[in-house]
Chain A
Amino acid sequence: MVDFARVQKELQECNKDIDVSGISIKLKGDSNSLTHLTGTIPGPLATPYEGGNFNIDIVLPDGYPFEPPRMQFATKVWHPNISSQSGAICLDILKDQWSPALTLKTALLSVQALLSAPEPDDPQDAVVAQQYLRDYQTFAATARYWTETFARTSTLGIEDKVKKLVEMGFPEALVRSTLESVGGDENMALEKLCSG
């Protein structure tokens, strides 16, 4: 049984200093369950992930906090220790090195640190790890591109995005439906519009 009192306190504590840490935890989507959460971490500065906001799906097992939370990137990331396909994270504290003294916030902070300090010798995604070791420049470019493509959240509001895409020559109704289908991501919508 999940310790909801602790989870509730953790959410309050984490969202209290969201301006400082940039890390936020919210209930995931539609469900009101405290066991399914979504965490958001900003890409660390001076890394290919700078400027991106990465969403992480969090599922709390029944044994939480005595068992580690299950975390997975919902945003596509190009990183040696993060599966480019599933978003699975290879991080010891989320597995055998978990401690009940850790919290969701500290775990997310560790994930953020992992973004800035990859461990290619213990890879989750072998392809990315090989690229990281053999051709760092390409790796960095790819990671930056993925960040721009998938993790970049425009500061524009939904109306501004619609206006911008309409100015490109797309019909407004199609732009709105496309934006909704991709979750409001401007680049994704443009990609889809161009391909479709």
Chain B
Amino acid sequence: MLDSEASGVAAVATSSVKSAMVTDSTTNASIPMAASNSKDFAKKKRVNRSAKLKQCKLDARREQWLSQVKNKGGFGDSSGHPPCSESHSSMENLEVKPRVEKEGGSIYHHYSDSDSASNSPTSHTSSVSGSSNVSGTIFTGSGGSSSSSGGSCSGSITGEDEDDDGCLDDWEAVADALAVTNVKQEQDKLSFDNRRVVPSVSPPELKPEERVEGNVQKGPPNCRAWKPDDAFRPQTLPNLAKQLSFPMKSGRQYGCAWGCKNVVSVPSTCPICCEDLDYTDSRFLPCSCGFRLCLFCHKRILEDDGRCPGCRKQYDYEPIKGEATIDGGSLTFKLGRSCSMIIRS
């Protein structure tokens, strides 16, 4: 458990860092998708650098979360998200979210959303949650408190500490689920989430908030930019990288090897008569030594002494029969087998 938790914490750290990074970049960059994608790569590098620092923070957060759980008891998990220390307003927002989202989605998503809002770290779920968070903030924004929405957004960055607990639990569950579920399905879910988010963003209510706070915009672009990356990132990304990298390497190697083998093993011309080998000739392997020659030269040799030019062994006469009269050859083979059977029996 300790190891798994540690690894989970590390993954969460990287993902959370990425989420933070994404928000930053998106704030700077505005909406464009391509730009966000390109920035994500750079962000990943940054994430690696700061990953260690993030782990330390996560450890601290987890301690905080444990203490909170002790204090708050069961409250943490079910409504869990509330653990946010920021304010009741955020709690109210969260309560609003479930109602809104129940219309479009399931309650489970709300939990993930709340988790994601705080935890964004988990890859797929985080992206989903991020989208939900955005919607949540939007709705809350519509509810009236732009400050509260801004608080939630900023909370995703700074307030992660308190919410991480739920994230960790969810993260482990999610990790297990991810291992089982197909990446495509996850991506589909993400795309659906994005669709949900997009309309929510479009409402005119949001625009004032966006103008007031760049953070609000971060959500939707993040979701879009993230989802591809998120889906790939924690677990699937390495897999995809492997799939991309290994096939490339192996393909090149095998390609070279095969090419060389073909060139070596199958001469382009008959070594006896120097005529080009056609398809039938190149498939014709009369001797176990591997010496190839065209059918004409083979027939000529059989008329002579019938020895393989490569190893001087006598050619087997079976291939001759097979060539000359297939039917006769098969018949003779069958007879031979039956005879052998009789002898054995």
Chain A: residues with CB nearer than 8 A to chain B? Answer: 3, 5-6, 9, 65-66, 97, 99-102
B274 lies within 8 A of A101 (CB):
no
B309 lies within 8 A of A99 (CB):
yes
Q: Chain B nearest CB: distance from A100 CB in Å?
A: 5
The residue that A6 contacts in the complex, of B274, B301, B309, with Cβ under 8 A, is B274
Interface: B312 (CB within 8 A): yes
The residue that A101 contacts in the complex, of B271, B275, B300, B304, with Cβ under 8 A, is B271
Interface SS of chain B: helix, strand, loop or mixed? loop
A101 lies within 8 A of B273 (CB):
no
B309 lies within 8 A of A9 (CB):
no
A100 lies within 8 A of B274 (CB):
no
Q: Chain A nearest CB: distance from B304 CB in Å?
A: 6
Interface SS of chain A: helix, strand, loop or mixed? loop
B301 lies within 8 A of A66 (CB):
yes
In the complex, chain B residues whose CB is within 8 Å of the CB of A99: 307, 309-310, 312
Q: Chain B nearest CB: distance from A25 CB in Å?
A: 16
- Residue of A3, A65, A97, A99 with most chain B CB atoms under a 10 A cut-off: A99
Q: A49–B154 Cα gap in the complex (Å)? A: 97
B143-173 Cβ-contact flags toward A at 8 Å (1 or 0): 0000000000000000000000000000000
Interface: B331 (CB within 8 A): no
* Closest chain A residue to B272, Cβ basis: A100
Tell whether A101 pairs with B291 under 8 Å between CB atoms, given A5-B273, A9-B274.
Answer: yes
B276-316 Cβ-contact flags toward A at 8 Å (1 or 0): 00000000000000010000010011001001011010000
Given contacts A6-B272, A100-B272, 8 further A-B contacts (CB under 8 A): A6-B273, A6-B274, A9-B274, A65-B272, A65-B273, A97-B312, A99-B309, A100-B309
What is the interface residue range for chain B against chain A? 10 to 19
What are 15 A-B pairs at a CB distance below 8 A? A3-B274, A5-B274, A5-B275, A6-B274, A65-B272, A65-B273, A66-B272, A66-B301, A97-B312, A99-B309, A99-B310, A100-B272, A100-B297, A101-B272, A101-B309
Name the interface residues of B238-295: CB closer than 8 Å to any CB of A.
Answer: 271-275, 291
Q: Chain B nearest CB: distance from A166 CB in Å?
A: 50
Q: A102–B291 Cα gap in the complex (Å)? A: 13
Q: A50–B128 Cα gap in the complex (Å)? A: 88
The residue that B304 contacts in the complex, of A5, A6, A9, A66, with Cβ under 8 A, is A66
Q: Chain A nearest CB: distance from B298 CB in Å?
A: 10
In the complex, chain B residues whose CB is within 8 Å of the CB of A102: 309
Q: A66–B309 Cα gap in the complex (Å)? A: 9
Q: A3–B301 Cα gap in the complex (Å)? A: 14
The residue that B301 contacts in the complex, of A5, A9, A97, A100, with Cβ under 8 A, is A100
Q: Chain B nearest CB: distance from A28 CB in Å?
A: 22
* Closest chain B residue to A6, Cβ basis: B274
Q: Chain B nearest CB: distance from A65 CB in Å?
A: 6
A3 lies within 8 A of B273 (CB):
yes
* Closest chain B residue to A9, Cβ basis: B274
* Closest chain A residue to B291, Cβ basis: A101
In the complex, chain A residues whose CB is within 8 Å of the CB of B310: 99, 101
A66 lies within 8 A of B274 (CB):
no
In the complex, chain B residues whose CB is within 8 Å of the CB of A65: 272-273
Q: A99–B304 Cα gap in the complex (Å)? A: 11
Q: Chain A nearest CB: distance from B281 CB in Å?
A: 15
In the complex, chain B residues whose CB is within 8 Å of the CB of A9: 274
* Closest chain B residue to A65, Cβ basis: B272
Name the interface residues of B4-55: CB closer than 8 Å to any CB of A.
Answer: none
Q: A133–B333 Cα gap in the complex (Å)? A: 55
